[in-house]
Structure formats: C-alpha cells, structure tokens
Amino acid sequence: MTRLRCDQTPAWAALHTHFATAGRQFDLRDAFAQDAGRFAAFSQQAPHVFADLSKNLIDAPTEALLLALARQCGLESQRDAMFAGEEVNASEQRAAKHFLLRNSPLAQERRAQPAINSIALEALEVQRTLDAMLAFAEQVRADASITDIVSIGIGGSDLGPQMAVLALDAFAIQGKRFHFVASVDGDELAGVLKGLRPESTLFLVASKTFTTLETMTNAHSARRWFEAQGGQDMRRHFVALTSNLAAAQSFGISTTFGFWEWVGGRYSLWSAVGLPIAMAIGAANFRDLLAGAHAMDQHFCSAPLARNLPVRLGLLDVWYRNFHRFASRSIAPYSSALKRWPAYLQQLEMESNGKRVDASGQPLTYDTAPVLWGEPGTNGQHAYFQMLHQGTSVVPVEFVAVKQAAHAPHDLPGHHALLLANALAQAQALMNGRPDAGGHKDFPGNRPSTFLLLEALTPASLGALIALQEHRVFVSGAIWGINSFDQWGVELGKVLARDIESRLQSGDVSRLDASTTGLLERLRRP
C-alpha cells in the first residue's frame, strides 16, 4: 500500500501557493458570473444522492491540485487496501471490513488476490449471521405481545441505530415503540422504563465485549427492574448483540447475535447492532438499507477520482481545514426525520479523524477533523443561522434535503414546498449575501455550502447517504496520513473515571489536583 503524508507531497506546496495567489480571494458570485457551466461542473449524481458542490470556494484549478494531492498520497491504493481486507487499522492490528456487512460480493470483486479467499469465507459467515438476525427480527415483529423494544448501547451502538430508526419512521411497524438508552445517567433509563411493562418489553444489549461500563450498568439496572416488576422468563426478554457469548450467557441471556473485531463501533449499524433497525423496518427494508450502502461502495471503488463523490467531498474538507483554516462545519438536514443526523456525523468524523499524530505515531504539523455541529432546518434558522450569515467566522454548511415528503402532501398542503424553499433560500443567501445594505443589515455573502439532495428518504437512500459520509471521512483521513479507525482518545477519561468513582465513596483526595479535589469534596457534602 502506497502511503505518503500530505505535507510531504509536491501538490501540498502547490496548493499553498495557489491559495495565496487565488484561493484566498475567491468569490462565488464572480465564479458564477464568469462560468455558465459552473453548476454542471460542480454537481453530480451518485447512487441515491445528488450533490451540488457549486456553492463551494473551489474552481477547476483548485480541484485539479486537490486530485493531484490525492494521487500523490496514494489514496487509491489506500482505498483498495481497505477493500482487500488489509490491516488498515495498524494501531489495533485490525482490518476495517465494514463494507462486507452490507454486501459480500463487493469484496470478491477486488483484485487483491491474497485476501480474496479469506474475505469470501468471512462473507459467507456475515450472510449467515445476517439471515439469522433478520429472521429473529421478523419473529419479534410478528409477536404482538412485544410492544416496546429498548436498545441499550453507547457510541456507535446507540447513535447509528437511533438515527436510522428515527430517519426511517415512515417505514416502521405500527404497534411497537423503540427506545434508546446510552448515558449512564440514571434519569435517562428511568424515563424510558416509566410506563413500560416487563411482559411486553424486549431489551437489546449491544456491546462488542459485553464489558462497556455504561452499557453494562444500564443492562444490570434493566434486569433488576425486570425482576422487581415481576418479569418472567428473562431469556425471552433480553437479547445480546456481542462477541462475548460467555459473558452474555453468564448475564442470563441465551439469544445472542455476534459480530467481528473488524467492526468498529461507528460502522456497526450494518451488523447485528442494527437489530433494532431491522425490527423497526423489517428484513426486506433492512436489506435495502444495505444495498444502498453497497451501491455507494461500488461508486467509491470504481468512479474516476474527478467524478467520485466521496473523494470530492473529502478533498473539499482538506481544502477548507488546511488552507482556508475553517474550524467547523454545520450540518443542516431539512428533514425532521434526520434530527439525529448531526449527532451521528459528529462521532463518525470527529472520532475517526480527530487525531494529532499520523498513522505511525508522529506528530502532525497541520489540522485534522473540523468540529461538526447542527440542527434540523428550519429550527436552526431561528437559532444559529444568525452567526452563519453575519458572524466573524466562516462556517461551511452542508444542507441535506429530500425531494418527496414522507407524509401525504394533500394532508398537509404547502408544508414541504415551504421547507424546500427555505433550504434553497438559505444556501442562496449564504452565497449572495447583501453586502450593500450597510450596518446591521449587511450580509457579506461568499459563504460556502454543499447541498445534498435525496429523491426520497428511503432505506436505500439512507444507506447510500451514510456510506457516502463514511468514505468521505476515509478520504480526508488518508490525505492527512492518520488512522481513521482507532479511537485512543476515549480511553484516558474511562480510566480516570474508575479511580474517581472509588474516591467519591471513600473521600480520598490524595495526589489529585486542586480543582478535582475541590469538586469532589463539594459533591460529597451532605
């Protein structure tokens, strides 16, 4: 696998020169005025997703230099190594084969002969597990006695399934409610359990190791509630999504669905962790979700770099972060069904690429992942869009819109047209501004945005949209020379929390800093 860090390439130096001479002064309004074909050149259809990149601070020379950077960094060989099942997660000595979870034939199409046989065997195992999981999901869907499904997990075991279940509510089964518990804050679990009955509740406990502190704390509390409320036959009401079958059995769970060490948490919704999604939307729709992601996988693997949407988005992220020095990106889904989309992307991108050393552990001299944040429109317009339009920091915005509403238009006439009009208007206003108004009414404009458009929010289109973002994150991580598949930054706080938990009981403050000591003592006061 060819891999060269971006700051060691000729294209990196050329991009710095280009930014100083042309990129810094780039004006979108002039770009559109001078190029009648700009929209066609900087928009494209990918599987299930149309993308308009024309309102971004790029032109053909900029994109040509960014594509040269990608080639010099060995992006294509890095991508091919991942799809060949090579150990791309070096710090944990693992592959990243989440693509196998959505459609095994893709792996067999790759040309890396040494990995084909082992991947083909794993693909068969993946399919067997998927078939068993979906059969169980259909069994639960047909069981009228189960009215509430409580999914207990954290991180990717919570954010992905929760986001997808909410997004695909139009496809969800009637008569069953889906609840998600992630935080160790007891108020969250208590709020979910309030009003539930043990005989009609099914708990799904998602933890690869079955040792995750927050998840197991909530699982033990859920079991105590179940028993205290007179619940019978725990084995029927608890299911484990884990690789640690022995621990699940020791807990009292007999129904388990496993997944593999190469399934990272933020890529796990395609695996058994996606069981609540399958229960909500059914086996056929879950397969459509996988098929949409597979279609985007094929696009990423086969489309020329210049017309490869994940590549173009990932390179745009590098251009904004390292040259324009934009520190954040706002996610604005104009669909209430995508209300958890910003939170999902926060983990996907910031946990993947929020790194300060390269893949070999050497410090970086440039910035990596931006801060992602946002809210669904039009709510965001009445909250933070003031800053986007008139604030002192430029924040690129990524709009997501859906052409066809999930509700029947004749039931709520005018709603969807107004929603789409607002999305288009905000992107237009950010670009054009109103720079001649003066004073408080001055809008500088020239503020960039990307517009992603789905025909409809379906399992297939959601799958493609998620996979698009996964591959985009891979692209920017590959350019930066980092390992996008580990997350060592989450470990230190866990270790310290275990120490402080015991100190909260004992009152021992020895060897603590003054601030932690003061807070701990205050928390211990009657």
Q: Give catalytic residues, as residue numbers.
A: 351, 382, 494
Query: Which candidate, 83, 97, 110, places its Cα nearest to that of 267?
Result: 97
Burial environment of residue 135 by CB neighbours within 10 A (0 to 12, 13 to 18, 19 or more): exposed
Contact between 378 and 419 under an 8 Å Cβ cutoff? The reply is yes
DSSP 349: I
Q: Residues 6 or more apart from 520 whose CB is under 8 A from it?
A: 500, 503, 504, 509, 512
Beta bridge partners of 52: 43, 451
Structure tokens at 83: 């799809």
Query: Which candidate, 520, 489, 207, places its Cα nearest to that of 350?
Result: 489
Q: Residues 6 or more apart from 82 whose CB is under 8 A from it?
A: 88, 95, 96, 97, 99, 474
> Mapping DSSP to helix (H, G, I), strand (E, B) and coil, where does residue 181 land?
strand
Structure tokens at 128: 């067997």
Q: Quick one: residue 445, left, alpha or beta (phi over 0 = left, psi -120 to 50 = alpha)?
A: left
Query: Which candidate, 277, 329, 301, places its Cα nearest to that of 471?
Result: 301
Pairing of strands 148-152, 177-181: parallel
Structure tokens at 323: 């040259």
Contact between 259 and 272 under an 8 Å Cβ cutoff? The reply is yes
DSSP 358: -
- Full DSSP string of 75-86: HHHHHHHHHTT-
**Rounded distance, CA 274 to CA 270, Å?**
6
CA terminus-to-terminus distance, the chain: 60
Spell out the long-range contacts of 27-32 with Cβ–Cβ below 8 A and sequence spacing 24 or more. 27/446, 28/55, 28/56, 28/57, 28/431, 28/445, 28/446, 28/448, 29/431, 29/432, 29/445, 29/446, 31/59
Degrees to nearest 5, angle at CA 168 with 165 and 174: 80
Beta bridge partners of 328: 371
Specify the length of the chain in residues: 526
